[in-house]
Structure 1
Amino acid sequence: MGKMVGGGVEQLILNAFQSVDHDKYLFDFIIDSDSTIIPKRQIHEFGGEIFLISPYQNLFKYFSDLNRILRQKQYEIVHANISTLNIFPLFIAWVNKVPVRISHTHNLIAKSDGFKKNFLKYSLRLFSNFFANAYVAPTYETGRWLFGRQIADKKLLILKNGVNISKFKFDSTVRIKLRKQLKIRDEDILIGDFGRLVKGKKHIFAMKVLQKMHKLNPKYKLLIIGEGPQRDYLTKIAASNDFMFLLPNRSNIEDYYSAVDGIIFPSSREAFGMVAVEAQISGLQVFVSKGVPDDVDFKQDLIVRISNWNVDSWCSKIINKINTNRINFDKSAFNSGFSLQNLGMTLQNYYDQQLEIRGIYGENTNNNHTKL
């Protein structure tokens, strides 16, 4: 799993973990020792074990720790979820002759990541298929970028990011409670900006848009929720604008979709964009950049796409299009394949298939451990 910091990838894996048949598959989690948010209760509740290892930056110790665990546990499946870095755990899985070695990518390249990080991604991409024998991505584009067109066309499983639909339904009681805590009036229009506080999410751009909107009409306010390296800088900006609120990650993030009136999502590039899915389930309009893929659109006129990075354009589009009347689209989400049931069924069928291909699926399945 790499580092667990309470992000979207971790939530996806936890959703998958909770949705498969635990009489057939047991999940263990191998996590970097410097992780800040480890959901121990959820993992232990479903019979999983947690192993802490050295981060990959100390590669020799990382390999040593991982090799010891894989040799001890004798897994049938290793499901790696750290995108271009999957080569490291899958190499050790290959050394230990793990039959099914899944490379699951969740990321794309983005200029905002900077030269050093992108250089590492491009370098590791050259070796991305060396030790994997099964391939998963949230979209075709994401899979093609890491694995190449040939594998994307013939071997890629496109696994939509499942969500607990009932959790994200609009709740008027929760809305009243949270807006009261934030001192947001009924007539105020609160725009949400949820996600990791990194350059690529363009939170600073969102702040500039809301500054312009607030200047035109003081009823517009901004709520940012997330953690990341830009927190200190964003906190300084928010501190000088009393219509901006910056909160750390919330365990009840679904409640805050009920509190806001729309979502701004100006990310430079998203492999998927789970925030847009969760927002639509809550009946919210989502104002997205060209960096957010079409795969997240329920086709219910809730996604408003803005193709430029002009503050005035975003400001005008949001003001003219914002609609605070909500409709519950949980059935649409289910039909679009975003339900937890679909996630669990798709992933479990894939595990079954990969084991069958290698001739090891059978009566012994009850003893399987799937490592994510």
Structure 2
Amino acid sequence: MIRILQIIGIVCGGGVEAVIMNYYRHIDRTKVQFDFVVDGYEKTILDDEIQALGGTVYHVEPYKKNIFRYMNQIYHIVHDNHYDIVHSNMNTLSLFSLFPAWLAGAHHRILHNHSTAVRSEGMRSVMKQILRPFAPLFANHYLACSRLAGNWMYGKEMMSSGKVMVINNAIDLDKYVYSSEIRRRYRRDLQIPVDALVIGHVGRFMYQKNHGFLIDVFHEIALRSKNTFLISIGDGELRSEIEAKARAMGLESRIRFLGLRKDVQSLYNAMDVFVLPSWYEGLPVVSIEAQANGLRCVFSDRVTKESGLTRNTEFYSLEEGASAWAEKILKLSTERNAKAKEDMSASGFDIHVQASKLLSWYMTFS
């Protein structure tokens, strides 16, 4: 059996951990086993499942607190446990895990880029631009979640060379098939009327996801239609700020901030329109999940067009403003895509197929 060390950073309900866990759940674990490095010493919502599936979870010093201790811990984890394959999902920050993995003797060091960047993210953008040329230096295998993410990290020339493999953010499509019964049950539990228009969003509360604009859009929707609600799933450093903004706008009774949830696949059923106003993305796994549920989807034009897999998906410019977004959303048909599963499978996002491909690739290292 091959053991692979997956480095995923902070566990907070984000897309990266969702992607890796989807592959972990569906890969043949008699041939490949994943172990995980996560930031922070507190138990996460993934620990029990990982251990039940046969994996080990290593908790390390968050890189933001002490990068040198973080790197030292990575070195000892790789060296002391004789990991030959290290798969880093930390984007530009992978430099700080793959360098110690190289020093510790790991022969196969995988850089997997899941994101891009924008200039308006302040110091975070500056650091990404500084680290980007160095991130691949200690890798010898290169992955990306989309061509956009690959072009951003590695450059178009390297992408064209065939050295970079695109790994789709695949999901278990059966878990996302729409259910009217689940819809009724969840709306009842959330105290949302059966006939209400429900806007949905799933994402970590951080600059990238643009929650402030989402609240502005919903405010405009709420002004135009009283029977409307917003479901927001996720957690993060900006959550309290966004909740305060919603309260200041008088929207607290119309928004359900649900935090981290293990039943996200069921919650999609309670929604009518899924909105993703991100400033940037690689290829968001939530966009795949929402489309697999058949939802009408509205993404910002900063989200890669590669994520638009069904005719139920539209892209709007953030420059149009919240009022224009609200008017467009209210005019949309909320009829679900009845062929969602077939569309997603044909596009290459069936985890059963994609996990087998990833397994075959890993097996070439043995």
Range 237-246 or range 254-263, more displaced:
237-246
Aligned equivalents of 1:35, 1:305: Cα separation in 2: 39
Per the TM alignment, residue 34 of structure 1 is displaced from its structure 2 partner at its CA by 4.3
SS in 2 for 1:288: strand
- Rounded to whole Å, the distance in 2 between the matches of 1:12 and 1:66 is 22
Closer/same/farther in 2, CA of residues 213 and 64 from structure 1, 3 Å limit: closer
The SS at the match of 1:349 is helix
What letter corresponds to residue 305 of structure 2 in structure 1? Answer: D
Q: Which residue of 2 aligns with 1:301?
A: 311
Looking at structure 1, the residues matched to 11 and 329 of structure 2 have their Cα atoms a distance apart, in angstroms, of: 34
User: Which of 5, 14, 17 in structure 2 is aligned with 1:10?
Assistant: 17
Distance 1:306 1:96, change over 3 A: same
Counterpart of 2:243 in structure 1 is 235
Indicate the residue corresponding to 1:358 in structure 2: none
Residue number in structure 1 paired with 2:166: 158
Give 1:85 deviation, angstroms.
0.8
Q: Retained in 2: the 8 A contact 1:266–1:289?
A: yes
Q: How far 1:325 moved relative to its partner?
A: 4.4
Contact 2:277–2:318, Cα closer than 8 Å, also in 1: no
1:182–1:274 Cα change, 3 Å = same
> Could you tell me which residue of structure 1 aligns to residue 215 of structure 2?
207
Measured after TM superposition, the shift of residue 315 of structure 1 is 1.5
Please say if 1:76 is aligned against 2:84. yes
Deviation, structure 1 residue 200: 2.2
**How far does residue 33 in structure 1 lie from its aligned partner after superposition?**
2.5
Deviations, residues 30-85 of structure 1 (Å, cap 9, x unaligned)? 22224663412221122111112222241332222222221122122110110101
Q: Note the alpha carbon deviations across 1:67-110, whole angstroms, 9 max, x for none.
A: 22211221221101101011111111211221111001112112
Q: Any idea what SS the aligned residue of 2:136 has?
A: coil
Alignment-mate amino acid for residue 159 of structure 1: I
The one of 147, 151, 163 equivalent to 1:144 is 151
Residue 300 of structure 2 corresponds to which residue in structure 1? 289
Report the alpha carbon displacement of residue 322 of structure 1 after superposing the two structures with TM.
2.9
**What is the CA distance between 1:303 and its match in structure 2?**
0.3
Q: Secondary structure of 1:52's match? A: strand
Partner of 1:44: 51
Distance 1:318 1:331, change over 3 A: same
The residue that corresponds to 2:328 in the other structure is 317
Structure 2: segments with no counterpart, 5+ residues = 1-7
- Partners of 1:77 and 1:243 lie apart in 2 by 48
**Could you tell me how far apart the structure 2 residues matched to 1:286 and 1:35 are?**
35
Number of residues of Structure 1 aligned to a counterpart in Structure 2: 353
Superposition RMSD in Å: 1.7
Tell whether 2:32 aligns with 1:22: no
Q: Mapping of 1:1-372 within 5 angstroms?
A: 1-34=8-41, 37-57=44-64, 58-112=66-120, 114-154=121-161, 155-239=163-247, 240-241=250-251, 242-298=253-309, 300-309=310-319, 310-353=321-364, 355=365, 361=366
Q: Distance in 2 between matches of 1:187 and 1:141?
A: 39
* 263-272 or 339-348: bigger deviation: 339-348
Aligned to 1:366: none
Shift of the alpha carbon at 1:306?
1.2
Counterpart of 2:103 in structure 1: which amino acid? Answer: V
Q: Is the contact made by 2:18 and 2:285 (CA closer than 8 Å) also made in structure 1?
A: no
Unaligned runs of 5+ in 1: 356-360, 362-372
Alpha-carbon distance change, 50 to 36 in structure 1, aligned in 2, over 3 angstroms: closer
TM-score relative to the length of structure 1: 0.90
